[in-house]
């Protein structure tokens, strides 16, 4: 375990006859760290003897700020945790608060949440694929994946008015009704995208450089992966179907027919295969959600939690009072604690929310997948070459905002 | 003694059979099992869950500051059994120090560093007890309830 190093890895004179080791700082501004991650490497030639990830450069105290805001204001902070999977974070927090409130969300809102969460998964995987391939020298992928990502961001903008920081899923339902004709761009994306995945695969699966740099790289025994806290596509590429959507279904995932793709290769290539298969499964889920979309409202009938419709506020005194109460005082959440888990694109995302019955959360802890996965980085890269570490870091698919919070 | 609500729970009953004094309370709420554990017994209880009940994963370790109550910190462990598809939450109330769970679950390493960094709870026996989020020369522990949200530097509450 690399964590046993307590002293900083500084230049040390080697013992007589021993090879001299070099200490190399990778990051915090290294392009393959996708954010600000610093890894202190102790090298023996081209081989990594020890790796020590240093995180915290993007620590913004989100958990502390959550304690200072009202229950419904926290939703804007959850967007900023994992900025590539903001709807998954919105969803996880909303589900946790709804659990404490004992609130049932209408079926249409649940289906729309599933639809958006799966589009988010595709969106995040597209960014991962583009940057991962770029790191390994396949530059074209980046342009192709960001072309399709643009379609998705337009869809998010159509729903919520925002491309990235959507804040669209709220406790009690959705922020807004989807605009009229929202099905058209979603359906166009569904029809268009399968051929795009084929295009990506045609560029990579027969590419000898891609195969050499990914196959057989980054293997870790599956027990060690579970032990160190790795989740998501990485653990599924090692053959364990650990997926919260199947194990503890939320937001009516049990009504959808989909598979959890697994691989047994356990290397960087297997993680790539799993994520590509996940995009196809996500498309299936989105199509089912689109075609089976129930009718009805998108917000729960709970006037102490959900803001009233604008039209009602102008005509009904009570609606105006409730609006005033929610906006000024916030919603009151009964005392209790829940740990809500959703499957984010990166793995297990859990919100541990504690309420003392007041208008603000007592504690919001985010169990984020990037933090858990990054902890396994030393185990994955040690005794390997530096160039492999780039492939391995890409396969971890971490977002430093998600890691540092 | 186990609360009535917990006696029907298989896990709680199995734990109480081996470590009768370890459980100080607990609840089954929102479909989630919470067990309050005596802090001195936490390692034995974690070992029990890992070795005998197939809880392979430690999902997260965190803390809740109950200031001004004493003991003020609740250390919260979330365990998951992938094989049995179960989750359990263990809580131990401490004033300042608890044994490190890294010997049982390697995943506890960074989570405990985070709790040490942000709450100032010491994990005895931790292999690398250093700050993880805040700079190494930072003073104070920001997630404590008596630490102002905007820090001490920009606190406008009291005019000097």
Nearest CA in chain A to B85: A247
Strand arrangement, sheet containing A347-355: A336-344, A347-355, A363-367
What is the value of ipTM here, to two decimals?
0.89
Q: With contact defined as beta carbons under 8 Å apart, do B141 and B147 qualify?
A: yes
Q: What pLDDT is recorded for position B155? A: 54
In terms of pTM, does the model score above 0.80?
yes
Contacts of B130 in chain A (CB under 8 A): 6
Contacts of B106 in chain A (CB under 8 A): 1, 227-229
Instruction: Please state, for a pLDDT cut of 90, what percent of chain A lies above it.
Output: 33
Interface membership of B68 toward A (CB under 8 Å): no
Question: Where do the domains of chain A lie, and which CATH numbers do they carry?
Answer: 2-54 (no CATH), 62-404 (1.10.645.10)
Q: What pLDDT is recorded for position A13? A: 59
Residue A16 clears pLDDT 80, i.e. is over it: no
Instruction: Kindly state the average pLDDT of the residues A294-304.
Output: 85
Interface test with B, best of A7, A225, A337, A357 (most B CBs within 10 A): A337
- Residue A38 in tokens: 């610093």
Q: What pLDDT is recorded for position A1? A: 38
Nearest-CA distance A28 → chain B (Å)? 14
Q: What pLDDT is recorded for position A357? A: 85
User: Considering only CA atoms, which of A154, A94, A138, A87 is closest in space to residue A115?
Assistant: A87
| Cis preceding-peptide flag for A376 (omega within 30 of 0) | no
Q: Which of A3, A228, A405 sits opposite B128 (nearest CB)?
A: A3
Residue A5 clears pLDDT 50, i.e. is over it: no
Distance CA A348, CA A370 (A): 9
Q: What pLDDT is recorded for position A198? A: 92
Residue A374 clears pLDDT 60, i.e. is over it: yes
If phi > 0 it is left, if psi is from -120 to 50 it is alpha, else beta; for residue A173 that is left
Q: How far is CA A366 from the centre of its chain?
A: 12
Interface membership of A334 toward B (CB under 8 Å): no
Query: For B4, phi and psi rounded to 5 degrees?
Result: -60, -40
**Is B130–A67 a contact, with Cβ atoms under 8 angstroms apart?**
no
Q: What is the mean pLDDT of chain A?
A: 87
Instruction: Kindly state the average pLDDT of the residues A203-224.
Output: 88
Residue A267 clears pLDDT 80, i.e. is over it: yes
Instruction: Kindly state the average pLDDT of the residues A273-299.
Output: 91
Confidence grade of residue A150 (pLDDT, cut at 50, 70, 90): very high
Residue A95 clears pLDDT 90, i.e. is over it: yes
Residue A14 clears pLDDT 70, i.e. is over it: no
Give the B window 114-143 contacts with A, CB below 8 Å. 118, 127-128, 130-135, 142-143
Residue A8 clears pLDDT 60, i.e. is over it: no
Q: Which of A5, A65, A228 sits opposite B149 (nearest CB)?
A: A65
**Is A59–B149 a contact, with Cβ atoms under 8 angstroms apart?**
no
Q: What pLDDT is recorded for position B3? A: 67
Residue A230 clears pLDDT 60, i.e. is over it: yes
Q: What pLDDT is recorded for position A301? A: 83
Q: With contact defined as beta carbons under 8 Å apart, do A204 and A198 qualify?
A: no
Give the A window 196-225 contacts with B, CB below 8 Å. 223
Interface membership of A404 toward B (CB under 8 Å): yes
DSSP symbols for A110-130: HHHHHHHHHHHHHHHHHHHHH
**Is A371–B110 a contact, with Cβ atoms under 8 angstroms apart?**
yes
Q: What pLDDT is recorded for position A6? A: 47
Q: Which of A4, A242, A352 sits opposite B127 (nearest CB)?
A: A4
**Is A363–B65 a contact, with Cβ atoms under 8 angstroms apart?**
yes
Residue A313 clears pLDDT 70, i.e. is over it: yes
CB contacts < 8 A (A, B)? 96
Question: Where do the domains of chain B lie, and which CATH numbers do they carry?
Answer: 4-101 (3.30.460.80)
Q: Which of A4, A226, A363 sits opposite B64 (nearest CB)?
A: A363
Q: What pLDDT is recorded for position B156? A: 58
Confidence grade of residue A2 (pLDDT, cut at 50, 70, 90): very low
Instruction: Please state, for a pLDDT cut of 70, what percent of chain A lies above it.
Output: 95
CB contact burial A308-335 (16+ within 10 A = b; e otherwise): beeeebeeeeebeebbeebeeebbebee
**Is B142–A6 a contact, with Cβ atoms under 8 angstroms apart?**
no
Residue A25 clears pLDDT 90, i.e. is over it: no
Residue A14, SS3 per DSSP = coil
Q: What pLDDT is recorded for position A3? A: 46
Rounded to 10 deg, the angle between the A386-396 and A268-291 helix axes is 20
Residue A9 clears pLDDT 70, i.e. is over it: no
Q: Residue A296, class by beta-carbon neighbours within 10 Å (0-12 exposed, 13-18 middle, 19+ buried)?
A: exposed
Task: From first to last of the 160 residues of chain B, give the pLDDT tens digit.
Answer: 566 677 777 888 888 788 878 888 888 888 888 888 888 888 988 998 898 888 888 999 999 998 888 888 999 999 999 888 889 999 999 988 899 999 899 899 999 999 999 998 999 988 888 888 888 888 888 888 888 887 776 555 555 4
Nearest-CA distance B159 → chain A (Å)? 21
Q: What pLDDT is recorded for position A219? A: 87
């Amino acid at each position: 375990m690399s964590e046993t190093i307590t002293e900083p890895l500084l230049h040390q004179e080697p013992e007589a006859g021993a090879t001299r080791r070099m200490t190399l700082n990778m990051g915090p501004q290294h392009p393959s760290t996708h954010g600000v991650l610093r890894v202190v490497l102790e090298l023996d030639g081209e081989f990594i003897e020890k790796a020590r990830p240093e995180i915290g450069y993007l620590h913004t105290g989100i958990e502390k700020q959550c304690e200072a805001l009202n229950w419904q204001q926290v939703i804007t902070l959850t967007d900023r945790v994992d900025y590539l999977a903001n709807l998954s974070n919105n969803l996880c927090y909303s589900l946790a608060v709804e659990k404490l409130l004992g609130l049932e969300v209408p079926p249409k809102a649940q289906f729309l949440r599933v639809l958006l969460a799966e589009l988010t998964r595709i969106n995040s995987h597209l960014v991962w694929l583009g940057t991962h391939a770029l790191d390994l020298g396949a530059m074209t992928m980046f342009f192709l994946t960001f072309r399709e990502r643009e379609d998705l961001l337009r869809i998010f903008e159509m729903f919520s008015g925002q491309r990235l920081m959507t804040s669209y899923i709220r406790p009690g339902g959705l922020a807004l009704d989807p605009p009229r004709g929202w099905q058209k761009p979603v359906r166009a994306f569904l029809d268009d995208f399968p051929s795009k995945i084929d295009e990506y695969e045609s560029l990579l699966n027969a590419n000898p450089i891609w195969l050499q740099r990914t196959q057989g790289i980054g293997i870790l025994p599956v027990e060690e992966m579970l032990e160190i806290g790795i989740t998501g596509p990485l653990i599924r590429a090692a053959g364990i179907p650990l997926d919260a959507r199947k194990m503890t279904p939320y937001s009516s995932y049990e009504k959808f027919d989909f598979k959890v793709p697994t691989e047994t290769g356990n290397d960087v290539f297997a993680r790539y295969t799993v994520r590509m298969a996940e995009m196809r499964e996500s498309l299936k889920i989105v199509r089912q959600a689109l075609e089976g979309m129930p009718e009805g409202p998108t917000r729960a009938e709970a006037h102490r939690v959900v803001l009233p419709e604008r039209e009602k506020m102008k005509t009904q005194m009570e609606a105006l009072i409730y609006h005033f109460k929610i906006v000024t005082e916030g919603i009151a959440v009964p005392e209790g604690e829940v740990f809500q888990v959703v499957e984010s694109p990166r793995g297990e995302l859990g919100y541990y929310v504690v309420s003392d019955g007041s208008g603000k959360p007592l504690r919001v802890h985010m169990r984020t997948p990037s933090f858990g996965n990054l902890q396994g980085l030393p185990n994955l890269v040690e005794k390997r070459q530096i160039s492999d570490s780039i492939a391995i870091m890409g396969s971890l698919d971490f977002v430093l905002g998600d890691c540092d919070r | 003694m186990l609360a009535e609500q917990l006696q029907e729970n298989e896990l709680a009953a199995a734990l109480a059979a081996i470590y009768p004094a370890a459980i100080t309370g607990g609840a089954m709420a929102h479909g989630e099992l919470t067990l309050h554990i005596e802090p001195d017994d936490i390692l034995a209880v974690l070992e029990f869950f890992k070795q005998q009940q197939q809880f392979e994963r430690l999902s997260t370790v965190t803390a809740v500051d109950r200031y001004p109550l004493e003991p003020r910190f609740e250390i919260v462990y979330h365990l998951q059994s992938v094989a049995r598809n179960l989750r359990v939450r263990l809580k131990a109330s401490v004033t300042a120090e608890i044994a490190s769970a890294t010997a049982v679950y390697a995943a506890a390493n960074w989570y405990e560093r985070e709790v040490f960094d942000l709450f100032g709870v010491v994990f005895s026996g931790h292999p690398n007890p250093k700050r993880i989020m805040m700079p190494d020369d930072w003073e104070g522990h920001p997630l404590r309830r008596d630490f102002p949200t905007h820090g001490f530097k920009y606190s406008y509450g009291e005019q000097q």
